[in-house]
């Protein structure tokens, strides 16, 4: 498992030889202070930062890799681990090892990746849903798209912003692989992290009708303020300051380990809205209407429209990280890593299909 160091880094225990020393050697080579290889220097951008090795004072023979905690900056990190490549065994694997790896997921060669696990924050319940490696191995060619899309669904809507940002980051990693012939990666993964909590978002609603003149919604206060509660969602329209903003109250400590079984839940999640007018050049092209029916009924469909399907030009850029991890099977090469490239391209295709549909 992954341990947390008091200084905010994470500790990954070195595996037994030859895997552990090989991974340590890889990190040492990439992060060598004298490194002047442009290929390796660029590779650093796609890895967690490496801070050498560490051993606890009580067990000096136990060695840990000291790495950047990629989830540290996130409030509600959604995490997915995806093994990349057509082969999860390296060129030096025994026939027995090859058979063992192939039997775990026979579709690896055809699909090019395997979901090892995910933890998704659901805004609706203020809780995490966890899927382990058995979930990923149950995915077929027909269900892999839906299986991956589950990671980007927060209980209210599909986080298309996080999908689009993930695709862009994978494409950068793909560019690196297309341009290098030094290293081949086996049984290595991509770690996906995005912010699950609703971000403070400003949108243009100058073209929105909050109430029809014929029927004033229940809860209309003097001065034109609408105050209504629905499933812990607090909706306010203030005609005085005209602002619309979304935020979710803080809570729930961050988790790093993907397979951690601890489960935390808070019962009182509050989403508050305020309405804001922006300049005319940013007005939504299509009119949106929040009617009495929407306000007195379930407000969730409206939140979906506002916060999950906003035009890209006015949506905040998603807070997303995609990093390469697990390097116990990295070997020198003089050819492109076609297996890894195949996996990246196929993963991009699946994500693009989710986005388009």
66-82 confidence digits (pLDDT tens)? 999 999 999 999 999 99
Q: In this model, does residue 94 exceed pLDDT 80?
A: yes
* Beta bridge partners of residue 271, listed in sequence order: 233, 248
Tokens of 98: 């090859």
Query: 198 pLDDT band (50/70/90 cuts)?
Result: confident
pLDDT at residue 60, as a whole number: 94
- Looking from the CA of 136 toward its CB, the CA atoms found within 13 Å total 22
Q: Which of 172, 174, 165 is nearest to 321 (CA)?
A: 165
Q: In this model, does residue 49 exceed pLDDT 80?
A: yes
Residue 155's region, left for phi above 0, alpha for psi from -120 to 50, else beta, is left
Q: Percent of the chain scored above 70 by pLDDT?
A: 67
pLDDT at residue 3, as a whole number: 94
- Cβ atoms within 10 Å of 10's Cβ, excluding its own: 21
Q: In this model, does residue 34 exceed pLDDT 90?
A: yes
Sorted by sequence, the CB contacts under 8 Å of residue 209 that are 6+ apart come out as 287, 289, 290, 291
Under DSSP, is residue 116 helix (H, G, I), strand (E, B) or coil? strand
Tokens of 81: 């681990």
Which letter does DSSP use for residue 17 in this model? T
**128 compared with 221, residue with greater pLDDT:** 128
pLDDT at residue 214, as a whole number: 37
Q: In this model, does residue 100 exceed pLDDT 50?
A: yes
Segment 136-157 shows an average pLDDT of 97
Q: For residue 163, how far is the Cα from the chain centroid?
A: 8
- CA distance linking residue 137 with residue 114, whole number of Å: 7
Segment 274-292 shows an average pLDDT of 36
**110 compared with 301, residue with greater pLDDT:** 110
Could you write out the three-class secondary structure of 283-307?
CCCCCCECCHHHHHCCCHHHHHHHH
Sorted by sequence, the CB contacts under 8 Å of residue 222 that are 6+ apart come out as none
- CA distance linking residue 326 with residue 25, whole number of Å: 12
pLDDT at residue 298, as a whole number: 52
- Cβ atoms within 10 Å of 350's Cβ, excluding its own: 19
Tokens of 218: 């229940």
pLDDT at residue 120, as a whole number: 98
Tokens of 26: 């890889």
- CA distance linking residue 307 with residue 199, whole number of Å: 9
Q: In this model, does residue 344 exceed pLDDT 90?
A: yes
**262 compared with 347, residue with greater pLDDT:** 347
Segment 325-333 shows an average pLDDT of 98
Parallel, antiparallel, or unpaired for β 233-237 and 271-273?
Answer: parallel
Query: 357 pLDDT band (50/70/90 cuts)?
Result: confident
Segment 1-6 shows an average pLDDT of 89
- CA distance linking residue 30 with residue 20, whole number of Å: 16
Segment 136-147 shows an average pLDDT of 97
The full set of domain ranges for the chain reads 1-69, 70-198+317-356
**277 compared with 12, residue with greater pLDDT:** 12
Q: Which of 313, 305, 268 is nearest to 164 (CA)?
A: 313
- Average pLDDT of the chain is 77
How buried is residue 140: exposed, middle or buried, by Cβ count under 10 Å (0-12/13-18/19+)? exposed
Contact predicate 295/217, CB 8 Å: yes
Of the listed ranges 1-15, 100-114, 158-172, 262-276, the least confidently predicted one is 262-276
Please state the CATH superfamily assignment of the domain spanning residues 70-198+317-356 in this structure: Inositol polyphosphate kinase (3.30.470.160)
């Amino acid at each position: 498992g992954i341990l947390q160091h008091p200084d905010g880094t994470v500790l990954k225990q070195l595996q037994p030889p030859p895997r552990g020393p090989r991974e340590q050697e890889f990190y040492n080579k990439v992060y060598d202070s004298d490194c002047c290889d442009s290929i390796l220097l660029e590779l650093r951008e796609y890895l967690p930062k490496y801070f050498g090795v560490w051993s606890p004072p009580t067990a000096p023979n136990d060695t840990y890799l000291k790495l950047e905690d990629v989830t540290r900056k996130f409030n509600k990190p959604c995490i997915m681990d995806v093994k990349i490549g057509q082969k999860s065994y390296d060129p030096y694997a025994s026939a027995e090892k090859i058979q063992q790896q192939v039997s775990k997921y026979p579709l690896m060669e055809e699909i090019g990746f395997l979901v090892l696990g995910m933890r998704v924050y659901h805004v609706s319940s203020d809780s995490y849903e966890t899927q382990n490696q058995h979930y990923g191995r149950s995915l077929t060619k027909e269900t892999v798209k839906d299986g991956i899309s589950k990671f980007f669904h927060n209980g209210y809507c599909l986080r298309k912003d996080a999908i689009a940002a993930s695709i862009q980051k994978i494409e950068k990693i793909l560019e690196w692989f297309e341009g290098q012939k030094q290293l081949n990666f086996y049984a290595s993964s991509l770690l996906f992290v995005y912010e699950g909590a609703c971000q403070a978002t400003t949108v243009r609603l100058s073209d929105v009708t909050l109430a029809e003149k014929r029927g004033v919604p229940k809860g209309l206060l003097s001065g034109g303020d609408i105050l209504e509660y629905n499933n812990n969602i607090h909706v306010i329209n203030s005609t005085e300051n005209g602002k619309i903003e979304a935020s979710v109250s803080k809570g729930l400590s961050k988790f790093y380990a993907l397979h951690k079984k601890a489960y935390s839940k808070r019962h009182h999640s509050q989403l508050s809205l305020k309405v804001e007018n922006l300049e005319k050049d940013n007005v939504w092209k299509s009119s949106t209407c929040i009617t009495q029916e929407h306000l007195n009924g379930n407000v969730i469909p409206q939140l979906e429209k506002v916060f999950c399907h906003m035009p890209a030009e006015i949506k905040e850029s998603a807070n997303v990280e995609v990093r390469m991890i697990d390097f116990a099977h990295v070997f020198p090469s003089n050819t492109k890593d076609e297996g890894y490239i195949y996996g990246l391209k196929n993963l991009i295709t699946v994500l693009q299909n989710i986005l388009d549909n």
